[in-house]
Structure 1
């Protein structure tokens, strides 16, 4: 009986160890367009992104380290509003992730499978799906994010005329 219990315990520990291991996907698989599937602040209900909520986010990771992030909203009349959030660079190597030059964080992105990642930002847990979006859409969204950066001379004039 003791031998049977020992065999069961060893088998159970092996199963638990395998299920606790993270999926190992090559870092380069991050390259491409990603769309937020859901987000959940700790202690709050999960928000499913898309048509029901009229809200989503887009991230683009270029092979050369280019990074773009935008929020998208669907208006009541069916129009899309793009709200550029950031444009800059990212790094991702051996589980260490950084965007926009911020401090690198270990396991900020966790692979669920080759087209799904879980991201953690502050106390929010996000699920992102890699999407094969048309190049025209990706370019437009990245260009929107690029335009978020206001040229220094224009910024100065805005400050003088609108924030005096």
Structure 2
């Protein structure tokens, strides 16, 4: 792992992020409160997320159909059901859902994994949410890529700090 790196958010005055990423990855800010780190194998969006990590402020973007606080309660199934419905609506059914509470350096983290098939390939999406701040890390695992971004997700979000 490489870091910690400090990255200036060019879209939000005086906000910097500190994060540790895989040593071969390059990191930057792609939008307000959105970081990404690319592996050297990243070419384009065709197979992007196995070679791309994202750290996102989910409170700003409203990306998820239910309140993410349920992830840290006994009602986490509500969150998983919302993901299943969302993928089914898009015509890409998701399957093999798993949920795990992890203990990070800053408190609890909720990790959600599920699989889907796109263009004949199976991918496993990995989302890891911090309870203490409204940020998540996202990546994907593809069996054809031995070091997919999804394998780093818990370590990246655990290292993440926001400085305003």
TM range (shorter): under 0.3
Q: Which has the larger radius of gyration?
A: 1
Normalised TM-score (structure 2): 0.24
